[in-house]
C-alpha cells in the first residue's frame, strides 16, 4: 500500500505546475505549451439488512489521474501523457481486493516535414503500484505481480500520420524491455531483464460525440517479428459523458493479449459514475 502513495505523490509533484491557474481554450493553430490534468473519483456501496430477496454488502472505489502536456511549434510537436489509476473492492466478509492498478507514461517527439507522414521518436512505460494476487478462495491467495514486477518499456522510431486531433497513427521499429523480479517465469520466460527487437504500431482516436460526450480509443501493437500469433495487443476504449459540472459517467473496455503471459486474450470492463475535476 505504501507504493501507491509514493507513486501518487511523485505524479502530483511532477504535474504540480499544471494546477497553478486556469487557462482559456487554445486556438486551433496555437503554438507553445498546452497542458491538462484531470482527476476522477468513483465510489459504489451496497448494504442489506433483512432483505428478503437476498444480497451481500459491498463497496468499491477507484481514483484516476490523467495528465497531458504538449508543446507545438511550426517545426515539431512534443506530446507527453501520464496516467495513474488505482481502486479496491470488497464483498461481504471477504478482504478488500485490488480492482484497478495502472501507471502509464508516454512521450512522442514528431518532426514536421510538411508532407503526409512525419518522422517520430517515442518512449512509453507501463507498470503498477502495488502487489497483485490470484484468489483461489475467500481466504487463500497467491502473489502474481508487484510494483515494477513486471514493468514494460518501449522505444520506437518511424513515421507517423495525423488527421487534425481526430486520428493519429504511427509505425516504426521498436525495442521492448520487460523488467521482472519474483515473477520472471510468468512474464519474461525466466529472465529478469528481457529485450525484444521488433516493430510497433500505435493509433489514437479522439471523437467528440456532442458537447458533453466523447469517445477515445488507443490501439498498441508490438511484434518481435517471429510469428503472427505472438503479437502483443493493448486496445483501450473509453466513452465518457459529463452529466453535471463535476459529475461524469464512463464506460471503459480494455482488450489485452500477451502470449508470454497467457495464450488467451484478456478483457477488462468498467462502468463508473463519480466526481470529475479539471485541475488545469
pLDDT tens column, 236-261: 999 999 988 899 999 999 999 988 88
* Mean pLDDT of all residues in 93-121: 93
Q: Which residue has the higher pLDDT, 277 or 20?
A: 277
Tens digits of per-residue pLDDT, 132-169? 999 887 678 999 999 999 999 999 999 999 988 899 99
**Cell numbers at 129, concatenated:** 503500484
What's the pLDDT score for residue 13? Answer: 45
Residue 189, CB-side half-sphere exposure with 13 Å CA sphere: 7
Residue keyed to cell 505546475: 17
Nearest to 103 by CA among 129, 81, 133: 129
Buried b (16+ CB within 10 A) or exposed e, 148-178: ebbbbbbebebbbebeeeeebbbbbebebeb
Tens digits of per-residue pLDDT, 18-37? 333 333 455 666 789 999 99
**Cell numbers at 52, concatenated:** 428478503
What's the pLDDT score for residue 25? Answer: 52
* Mean pLDDT of all residues in 173-186: 95
As a 3-state breakdown, the chain gives helix, strand, coil percent values, each rounded to 5, of: 10, 60, 30
The answer to whether 257 and 265 are in contact (CB under 8 A) is yes
**Cell numbers at 246, concatenated:** 463535476
- The domain locations on the chain are 2-278
What's the pLDDT score for residue 26? Answer: 57
CATH number of the domain at 2-278, out of 1.20.272, 2.130.10, 1.25.40, 2.40.230?
Answer: 2.40.230
Tens digits of per-residue pLDDT, 57-100? 999 999 999 999 999 999 999 999 999 999 999 988 788 999 99
Q: Is the pLDDT of residue 7 over 50?
A: no
**Cα distance between residue 196 and residue 180, in whole Å:** 14
Percent of the chain beyond pLDDT 70?
89
What's the pLDDT score for residue 165? Answer: 80
The answer to whether 55 and 48 are in contact (CB under 8 A) is yes
Confidence of residue 129 (pLDDT cuts 50, 70, 90): very high
**234 contact partners, CB below 8 Å, separation of at least 6:** 218, 219, 220, 254, 255, 256
Q: What are phi and psi of 226, to 5 degrees?
A: -95, -40
Amino acid at each position: 500500500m505504501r507504493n501507491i502513495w509514493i507513486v501518487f505523490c511523485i505524479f502530483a509533484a511532477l504535474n504540480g505546475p499544471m494546477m497553478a491557474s486556469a487557462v482559456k481554450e487554445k486556438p486551433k493553430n496555437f503554438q507553445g505549451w498546452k497542458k491538462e490534468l484531470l482527476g476522477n473519483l468513483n465510489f459504489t456501496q451496497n448494504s442489506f439488512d433483512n432483505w428478503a430477496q437476498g444480497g451481500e454488502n459491498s463497496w468499491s472505489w477507484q481514483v484516476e489521474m490523467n495528465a497531458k502536456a504538449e508543446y507545438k511549434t511550426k517545426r515539431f510537436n512534443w506530446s507527453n501523457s501520464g496516467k495513474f489509476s488505482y481502486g479496491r473492492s470488497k464483498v461481504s466478509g471477504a478482504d478488500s481486493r485490488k480492482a484497478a492498478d495502472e501507471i502509464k507514461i508516454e512521450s512522442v517527439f514528431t518532426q514536421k516535414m510538411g508532407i503526409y507522414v512525419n518522422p517520430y521518436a517515442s518512449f512509453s512505460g507501463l507498470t503498477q503500484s502495488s502487489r497483485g494476487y490470484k484468489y483461489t478462495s475467500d481466504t487463500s491467495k497467491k502473489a502474481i505481480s508487484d510494483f515494477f514486477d513486471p514493468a514494460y518499456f518501449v522505444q520506437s522510431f518511424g513515421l507517423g500520420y495525423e488527421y487534425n486531433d481526430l486520428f493519429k497513427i504511427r509505425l516504426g521499429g521498436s525495442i521492448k524491455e520487460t523488467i521482472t523480479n519474483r515473477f520472471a517465469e510468468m512474464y519474461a520466460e525466466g529472465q529478469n531483464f528481457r529485450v525484444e527487437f521488433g516493430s510497433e504500431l500505435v493509433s489514437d482516436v479522439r471523437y467528440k460525440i456532442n458537447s458533453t460526450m466523447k469517445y477515445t480509443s488507443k490501439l498498441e501493437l508490438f511484434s518481435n517479428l517471429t510469428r503472427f500469433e505472438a503479437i502483443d495487443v493493448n486496445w483501450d476504449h473509453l466513452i465518457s459523458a459529463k452529466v453535471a459540472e463535476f459529475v461524469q459517467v464512463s464506460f471503459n473496455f480494455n482488450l489485452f493479449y500477451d502470449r508470454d503471459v497467457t495464450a488467451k486474450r484478456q478483457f477488462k470492463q468498467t462502468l463508473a459514475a463519480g466526481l470529475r475535476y479539471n485541475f488545469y
